[in-house]
Chain A
Amino acid sequence: MGLTLPSDGEIAEVPAVSPNWLTTRLDFLVNWGRANSLWPMPFGTACCAIEFMATAAGRFDISRFGMERMSFSPRQADVLICAGRLPFKLAPIIRRVWDQMPQPKWAISMGACASTGGIFDTYAMVQGIDTIIPVDVYVPGCPPRPEGLMYGIMLLQKKIKGETMADPSLRQELLVNDQGFFVPPAKIDEISEPFGNSVHQTRSA
């Protein structure tokens, strides 16, 4: 077919199994189960956590998604919800929490500050938690209303329902490499081009 691996070896693995009738039926069952019993690891640092609590409480009722079991230990959690701004002092801690979560795992970045740093373009604040851990769903808002978070959760469920066991790269751990990053700064700049944090700088500068 003329398909060759990129020379720089950026793609580590090629799916060994192509989806077939058996795997797709099994995928459907497994993904149905996973998507409807996501146990959240709440990482609430700011006002977004208040909206997250409102989402969990009676009126909006996160248990409709099978998520009412808050997992305050990362070892029994499926989805990390970072609700609020993340200072650099907490960055190694959320990284440790993420590394302690077993696969399969997903992350939701809730609110403007967790997603981009928001209004806190300062010396103390991580400019988007996707420079620290991989993120599946970004929920905009300052803070997002519970409906917004629920929409994000439903998007994550949709994403989970599209996963397949034939693709082992989905379960690859993205660890901090020997350069000290888990995403190279050049790549962060490339992805966020032309929308840096402000007109004066890229996200790594």
Chain B
Amino acid sequence: MTAVAPGLSPSVEALRAAFGSAVLRSAVSCGDSIVWVDRDRAHEVLAWLKNTPGQEFNYLTDITAVDYRDPGQPLEVSYQLRSLGRKVDLRVKVPLDKAKPLTVDSVFDLWRGADWLEREVFDMFGVTFAGHPDLRRILMWDTYAEGHPLRKDFPLRGNFTRAEQTRQALAANPEAHYSMEELSIADAFNELPDDMKRRLLEGQRGELR
């Protein structure tokens, strides 16, 4: 075992003791402790970090992902955790091999705040979160067909021509962006025009013409 890097969070050593080889490596960057964890046991590790006395990382600050320019390097899903009681942070990274399907277990059951964060990572990077209750695009619209914008293989101006993007935008139905889940105020539904009610009941979310 190599010497522990100065400033490394004691949680990392505790993780190594509890999970062994599932903890791939660790580092300290700008004073922040980062620990890389195997994809298959990521949910287990995160649940342990949340629930174990002495760790208590009860606040999920952010989930994001990093796609490196080197195509051989894995895409990393990054969880920024904070313990509100102990006032410490920890970053957990899960490398995903780009040759395999990009999927990792959802942490929605641990932190409800992961809902929209995971949807954003799904929208921008195309990572699927197994077990997420409502995994659909959050920033781009439902019928967006150009891919996942923050991936390195995505051109800055998008995959379609400007003319095609304009055509699709003009063909979009502004009302069809809302789903029944989003119109959560049940009373408002009865005030809607009949044609809109019908579209919502059919689950229509806009279509490409």
B-side residues, CB < 8 A to A, are 140-141, 146, 149, 154-158, 161-163, 165-174, 209
- Cα A47 to Cα B162 in complex, Å, equals 24
Q: Which residues of A contact B170 (CB under 8 A)?
A: 91-92, 95, 132, 176, 180-182
Give the distance in Å from the alpha carbon of A89 to the alpha carbon of B168 in the complex: 10
CB-defined interface of A194-205 with B at 8 Å, one 1/0 digit per residue?
000000010111
Tell yes or no: A17 within 8 A of B by CB: no
| Segment from A4-12, A32-40, A123-131 that makes contact with B | A123-131
Which of B156, B163, B167, B171 touches A123 (beta carbons < 8 Å)? B156
Q: List 24 A-B contacts (CB under 8 A).
A: A88-B168, A88-B169, A89-B140, A91-B169, A91-B172, A92-B171, A122-B156, A123-B146, A123-B157, A123-B158, A124-B149, A124-B158, A126-B166, A131-B162, A131-B166, A132-B166, A181-B163, A185-B166, A188-B163, A201-B162, A204-B163, A204-B166, A205-B161, A205-B163
List residues of chain A with CB within 8 A of the CB of B163.
181, 185, 188, 204-205
Q: Which 7 A-B pairs have the closest CB atoms?
A: A123-B158, A91-B169, A185-B163, A180-B167, A204-B163, A92-B172, A88-B169
Q: How far is the CB of B148 from chain A (nearest CB, A)?
A: 11
Given contacts A132-B170, A205-B163, 17 further A-B contacts (CB under 8 A): A88-B166, A89-B141, A89-B169, A91-B169, A92-B171, A92-B173, A96-B174, A121-B156, A123-B156, A124-B158, A132-B166, A180-B168, A180-B209, A181-B170, A182-B170, A185-B163, A201-B162
Chain A residues with CB below 8 A from B168, complex form = 88, 180
User: Inside 8 A of B157's CB, which chain A residues have their CB?
Assistant: 121-123, 201
Task: Compute how far the CA of A132 lies from the CA of B154 in the bound complex, rounded to whole angstroms.
Answer: 25
The interface centre, meaning the residue of B156, B168, B170 with most chain A CB atoms within 10 A of its CB, is B170
- Verify A126–B169 contact, CB threshold 8 A: yes
Smallest distance from the beta carbon of A24 to chain B beta carbons, Å? Answer: 38
Point out the residues of chain A lying under 8 angstroms from B156, CB to CB.
Answer: 121-123
Give chain A's interface residues, CB within 8 Å of chain B.
88-89, 91-93, 95-96, 121-124, 126-127, 131-132, 176, 179-182, 185, 188, 201, 203-205
- B166 surroundings in chain A (CB, below 8 A): 88, 91, 126, 131-132, 181, 185, 204
Residues of B within 8 A of A188 (CB): 163
- The answer to whether B173 and A203 have CB atoms under 8 Å apart is no
- Chain B's closest residue to A203 (CB) is B162
Is the beta-carbon distance between B209 and A127 smaller than 8 angstroms? no
Q: Which of B155, B166, B168, B174 has the most CB of A within 10 A?
A: B166
In the complex, which residues of chain A have a beta carbon less than 8 angstroms from the beta carbon of B165? 88, 123
Of B146, B154, B155, B167, most A-chain CB atoms within 10 Å: B167
Smallest CB gap from A117: residue in B: B162
A132, B169: Cβ atoms closer than 8 Å: yes
B8 to chain A, nearest CB (A): 39
B180 vs chain A, min Cβ distance (A): 20
User: Which residues from chain B contact A179 at a C-beta distance below 8 Å?
Assistant: 167
Assess whether A127 is in contact with B162, with CB atoms less than 8 Å apart. Answer: yes
- Which of B155, B161, B162, B174 has a CB less than 8 Å from the CB of A92? B174
Chain B hits for A95, CB < 8 A = 170
Q: A205 contacts B167, CB within 8 Å?
A: no
Task: Name the residue among B157, B162, B173 with the largest chain A CB count within 10 angstroms.
Answer: B162
Complex: A203 Cα to B161 Cα, angstroms: 9
Chain A nearest CB: distance from B98 CB in Å?
21
CA of A176 to CA of B209, assembled, Å: 13
B166 nearest in chain A by CB position: A131
Q: How far is the CA of A136 from the CA of B107 in the complex (A)?
A: 51
Minimum C-beta distance from A198 to chain B (A): 9
